[in-house]
Structure 1
Amino acid sequence: MTHRFPIKEVARQSGLSTATVDRVINNRANVSPQTKARVAAAISELEGQEAQLAARGRRLFFDFVIEAPTRFSREVQQAAEQVLPSIGSAVCRPRFQAQEIMTEDDVTAALSRIAKRGSHGICIKARDLPAIRAAVDQLIASGIPVVTLVTDLKTPKRLAYVGLDNQSAGRTAAYLIAKSIGNGGGAVLTSKSNDRFLGEEEREVAFKETLARLCPKLRIIDASGGSGVHGETSRIMQSVIAGLDEVRAVYSMGGGNTAILHALDQNWSLPDIYVAHDLDNQNRRLIEDGRLSFVLHHDLRVDLLNVFQAFLHHHKLMVMPLQTTMSHIQVVTPENIPPFNKRFQKRTSSNTH
């Protein structure tokens, strides 16, 4: 594996030992494909960040631990890479660990490994579970700041929550459905990726309260638990779709929309209105094809810039704290889909050194 970085630097970026990195780079035996992929990803990240090294300032390592479908974690990493050139007060080096499904033990083990090797900040998207909250509090007590992304944790010690205003998103989804289908009877299908993602829970509560007020005759059928992954979502849908009568609308809070649509299509239950979240590649194709009615979108590049700036302010590399870390909702329809490669607008540097 060709590269131009010291093994120690690749090891630090990948979170592996120098001995393991040495075995991968020299193509020695008994190395798993996953380990090879981690080393290759670390080298790619170092190459992508190398241009920053010419800038003056401290070099800070930030870790991302993300439980999400690959399509979303990839979007997060791309957003981080896009905003890094706009940060001039320090050299920020992100390190990513992402899995589609992470158990409580998976997350706590990842946080423990990061704590051992050291970090200037951890950005986490994980379920709100007791052991994860305890691990986060322990990290913070050790001096490592923690920012939650898109979905929050019930710990007052975290540095900030960054992402969508989830309650507003739930109310918006209910309003769009109510205005589109009126107050007749029928069912609205809702789907969360997992009950313990606090952000999705906030969306659901606000959605149900608003829909009950605007359209009291509609009833809600839940099809949650698929983790936003195609296979699991299909399995959940098959368990609730049999015998289901008219589905007038769908509110998908956690992804897996291809699987949901396929199951509804098989049951001849395609809805009049379908509201989803996030304009990732899959949802972009679906809304372009008219399969989704509305996508509640927020710019992940703004979120990631807020993540980095929250950390920089913590390390006293920004003069003023962020006024808000909440993202504005953009209601995307088939008629106003943003350009795929819309250029990120660099924020003004008035609040940085």
Structure 2
Amino acid sequence: MSSHPHRKTSMADVAKAAGVSEATVDRVLNGRGGVARDKEARVLEWARKLKLDRALGAVPARWLRIAILMQQPAVPYYLNLKRGFELAQKSFEAQRAICAVTYFDNLEPACIVETIRRATQKADALVVVAYEHPDISAAVRKLSPPIPVITLASDLPGTGRIAYVGIDNRGAGRVAGELMGRFLGNDGGKVLVITGMHDFLGHEERENGFRSVLRRWFPRCDIVETVESREQPGRTEGLTRDAFARYPDLRGIYNISVGDEGVGAALQALGRARSTVLIGHELSQVSRRLLMDGTLDAVIDQNPVAEAMRSVELILRHYHREPGVTPPQQIPVTVILRENLPPEY
């Protein structure tokens, strides 16, 4: 490149820095298409670094296809997450992003791996909500060099993902522990933990945070057992009834994942709704009703719509398509009680 301090940057300068031809630079900057996604990203990156004298923000660009993989929206969290990606696509239409949502048929590792393979064949990025399993992690790791990967709600460390988006799950579990300890008071008592799946790192982190606070600050609170709902809301009622059959003096339940309605139904049927402290996750129509009638004592919410928006923003920035907003670096942990329920829209 020329050392002349006043010479304007040319397309040849950008081509040399990005390691592509001038024709490729021309195709990218004039939106003619036919350029591989990694080359396009390099051209735009170097054009900005070298301060090419043109309005790069207005450069026509091909559509980015973002593969979104998650569970079926049968529970409020995933339904709100789906709405969040719909909102993100509308909000970032100028950046030409398509949010293509695909649902796992089931949570078996082979199904998840095959869904990842199929849904990302023509994708420019991947956002995935999945649990840790060697085969799943290997499938994501294989993708992460050629395309950016975002893990959402539960992290998959060691896969090469560019970011994790979601709350601090260990911190959320610690907040749940603080609430449980204070609600049960000096007498403490027996506590049941209902997790979704142990393999979800987010669920493991919530339980670890919960346990650590009770162990340190509320030693009279005794976690007697952790049971798995397998992310199936219909299982939690039976799990709760079975727990009371084993521990008739159970005083608290921390539901880490789905199925507050099942826990609530069991508590009401057993006449234990008022005498049992129940703490759950995610604000929904169900948890709102349970808070209002006193069955549910507290909800820890993580704003799935904001998580979806944040995921798409990070991918747009990776491709140097500035979304024009500066989101928070961390999704906040929000505690909702009956007295601070937000308005219903």
**TM superposition score normalised by structure 2:** 0.76
Deviations 1:64-119 (Å, cap 9, x if unpaired)?
11136612222111122223333255122111122474110110000111233x10
Distance 2:237 2:69 in 1: 26
8 A contact 1:287–1:334 mirrored in 2: yes
Q: Tell me by how many angstroms 1:251 deviates.
A: 1.2
Distance 1:192 1:244 in 2: 18
Distance 1:174 1:100 in 2: 34
Deviations 1:35-61 (Å, cap 9, x if unpaired)?
xxxxxxxxxxxxxxxxxxxx9654211
8 A contact 2:236–2:262 mirrored in 1: yes
- Find the counterpart in structure 1 of residue 286 from structure 2: 282
Q: Tell me by how many angstroms 1:154 deviates.
A: 2.5
Larger radius of gyration: 2
Q: Tell me by how many angstroms 1:211 deviates.
A: 0.8
- Find the counterpart in structure 2 of residue 326 from structure 1: 330
Give the stretch that moved more between structures: 269-278 or 204-213: 269-278
Residues 265, 243 of structure 1: alpha-carbon distance in 2 compared, 3 angstrom cutoff? farther
Question: Which residue identity lines up with residue 196 of structure 2 in the other structure?
Answer: S
1:82 aligns with 2:114: no
Question: Which residue identity lines up with residue 262 of structure 1 in the other structure?
Answer: A
Instruction: Find the residue that maps to 2:338 and give its secondary structure.
Output: coil
1:152 aligns with 2:155: yes
Give matches, 1:250-329, under 5 Å.
250-270=253-273, 271-318=275-322, 325-329=329-333
Q: Tell me by how many angstroms 1:326 deviates.
A: 2.2
Give matches, 1:234-245, under 5 Å.
234-245=237-248
Give the stretch that moved more between structures: 261-270 or 154-163: 261-270
Choose which of 167, 179, 184 in structure 1 pairs with 2:182.
179
Choose which of 252, 273, 276 in structure 2 pairs with 1:249.
252
Give matches, 1:226-241, under 5 Å.
226-241=229-244
Question: Which residue identity lines up with residue 96 of structure 2 in the other structure?
Answer: V
1:201 aligns with 2:204: yes
Question: Which residue identity lines up with residue 227 of structure 2 in the other structure?
Answer: S
Q: Tell me by how many angstroms 1:320 deviates.
A: 9.7
- Structure 2 portions without partners, runs of 5+: 1-58
1:102 aligns with 2:100: no
1:192 aligns with 2:206: no
Identical columns (%):
26
Figure out how many residues of one structure are paired with residues of the other and give that number.
285
Distance 2:313 2:188 in 1: 48
Residues 68, 319 of structure 1: alpha-carbon distance in 2 compared, 3 angstrom cutoff? closer
- Find the counterpart in structure 2 of residue 64 from structure 1: 68
Q: Tell me by how many angstroms 1:323 deviates.
A: 7.4
8 A contact 1:164–1:327 mirrored in 2: yes
Distance 1:290 1:131 in 2: 43
Give the stretch that moved more between structures: 240-249 or 130-139: 240-249
Distance 2:323 2:302 in 1: 26
Residues 287, 233 of structure 1: alpha-carbon distance in 2 compared, 3 angstrom cutoff? same
- Structure 1 portions without partners, runs of 5+: 1-54, 342-353
Deviations 1:116-161 (Å, cap 9, x if unpaired)?
3x101111111111100000011113x1221111111122511111
Distance 1:68 1:193 in 2: 15
Distance 1:92 1:153 in 2: 24
Give the stretch that moved more between structures: 320-329 or 65-74: 320-329
Deviations 1:241-292 (Å, cap 9, x if unpaired)?
3132222222111121111122233444434422111112322222233221
Query: Alpha carbon RMSD of aligned pairs, Å?
Result: 2.4
Deviations 1:11-38 (Å, cap 9, x if unpaired)?
xxxxxxxxxxxxxxxxxxxxxxxxxxxx
Residues 320, 263 of structure 1: alpha-carbon distance in 2 compared, 3 angstrom cutoff? same
Distance 2:310 2:277 in 1: 33
8 A contact 1:184–1:215 mirrored in 2: no
Instruction: Find the residue that maps to 2:96 and give its secondary structure.
Output: strand
8 A contact 1:223–1:236 mirrored in 2: no
